[in-house]
Structure 1
Amino acid sequence: MVPPLAVDIDGTLTDGDGAVDPRVFAPLQEWEAPVVVATGKAFPYPVALAHFLRIERTVIAENGGISLVGDDLVVHGDRTGAQAVIDEYESRGYDLGWGELDLTNRWRETEVAVSRDRPLEPLEVIAAEQGLEVVDTGYAYHVKDPTMSKGRALRSVARRLDYDVTDFAAVGDSQNDAHMFEEVGVAYAVANADDHAREAADYVTEASYADGFLEAAEEIAAASE
């Protein structure tokens, strides 16, 4: 049997333009073990993806801030500290970069995301003053509690699925996936991955983005035969 699989969305199931590659649908739907969709995006995004793929609603959102297994929802943090950082950031004359209708953060419960075209250094300084951290996922700067991570959330998900977290294989591309890679039995970084993910992974695929995921999924399945 193939191992349970934890997989990132952006940069891993997507193409270079940020769209989910339809070629990943069949491998995810046909995977003969639990699939955990683990993302930095707000909670509704992975839930919707699982819904439209008709796979089980087993997800990690907001870089480990929220996890869902079926109807079992666990919130691993709250937004209070991150929001205080953002309030101070804005009081110093900066903005989040999403425009007046901020859909990036509208449904976010445990962290706040800032556009990567906004100044990073003052954001990191303010976050450090509050005991928080800023994680660069390659798509946004995420202000979050440092105890919150995809790895910690995956441990919780694994227990609820009656697996050990080391039973899992994982595929991802960025710093937030590195925490997850450190927990699982085998980890693949796709070729477009950042240095954090590459260093934490057991393997780096030759292909990038969704092609890299397909390569990793094939190798994980082959290794289980």
Structure 2
Amino acid sequence: MVPPLALDIDGTLTTPTGRIDGRVFELLPDWDAPVVIATGKAFPYPVALATFLGLPPQVIAENGGVVHVADETTFLADPDRPRAVVEAFEERGGEIGWGDDTTVNRWRETEVALSTDADEALLREVAADVPDVEVVDTGYAFHVKSTSVNKGDGLVRAAEALELDPESFVAVGDSENDVSTFAVAGDADAVANADAAARDAADVVLDEGFMDGTASVLEALSAGRTPGE
């Protein structure tokens, strides 16, 4: 029996150049346990990935702001304060930084994502003046989000809907926003490219990065071995 999985996307199911690694389509479609995709991306992205994998869309999106499982979608945060932070940031000369690409935030329901080229110091200064809002750096974007949600709480909610114990999950991730997931999953693996926060929170820091690391976890679990051994 293989365990259920909680998998991040960027830096975890991708190549170093940001593409979805083709091994995702070899290793996950026939996984004989629930797979929850837990990401900072906007809601449609993990749903699309699960759909193309032929898996039920069991997803935690927007860093826990949106949870979709058992055909039920729950929005767990109000976007008004994050949006107010970004508006104030722009009024003070800050730039979101995506250029002409409006898709990053077009379907985002509970938070706002800014490019890592944005002025982080100014963004954090503005956010500090707004209650219950935080800035999370995933290495791919600065996420302005409610402090009341995170991916770990999303996993607890998803596990409950699936009638599973969160501790039965194996989680794989790479950044600060995976720390809460690692805290509730039974086993937590950080890929080699993980940031310091994720590495410190993980049970195992893998020798391989990106999808190489995730593939090593899936192959070990399929063989009945403990990842990282």
The residue that corresponds to 2:33 in the other structure is 33
Identity of aligned residues (%): 51
Residue of structure 1 in register with 2:106 after alignment: 106
The residue that corresponds to 2:136 in the other structure is 135
Q: Which runs of 5+ in 1 are unaligned?
A: none
- Equivalences, count: 224
| Corresponding residue for residue 166 of structure 2 | 165
Task: Name the residue aligned to 2:92.
Answer: 92
Counterpart-to-counterpart distance in 1, 2:173 and 2:185: 12
How far apart, in 2, do the equivalents of 1:220 and 1:141 lie? 33
2:178 aligns with 177
CA contact (8 A) 2:94 2:122 kept: no
Deviation at 1:70, TM superposition (A): 3.3
Whole-Å Cα distance in 1 between the matches of residues 101 and 30 of structure 2? 37
Contact 1:174 1:193 in 2 (8 A): yes
| Matched residue, 2:225 | 223
- Tell me the equivalent position of 2:118: 118
**SS in structure 2 of the partner of residue 36 of structure 1:** strand
Aligned to 2:78: 78
Query: Displacement of 1:136 after TM fit?
Result: 0.4
Give the secondary structure class of the aligned counterpart of 1:223. Answer: coil
* Secondary structure in structure 2 of the residue aligned to 1:97: coil
**TM-score normalised by structure 1 residue count:** 0.97
Unaligned stretches of 5+ in structure 2? Answer: none
- Aligned residues of 1:76 and 1:153 also touching (Cα < 8 A): no
Alignment pair present for 1:13 and 2:10: no
User: 1:3 deviation in Å?
Assistant: 1.2
SS in 2 for 1:129: coil
C-alpha separation in 2, matches of 1:204 and 1:218:
16
Write out per-residue CA displacement over residues 103-134 of structure 1, whole angstroms, 9 at most, x where no aligned residue.
Answer: 10010010000100111011111112112110
Partner AA of 2:145 in structure 1: K
Measured in 2, the distance between the counterparts of 1:147 and 1:219 equals: 35
Alpha-carbon separation, structure 2, partners of 1:223 and 1:159: 26
Q: In structure 1, what residue type is equivalent to 2:84?
A: A
Q: Secondary structure at the match of 2:29?
A: helix
Instruction: Tell me how large the CA RMSD over aligned residues is.
Output: 1.1
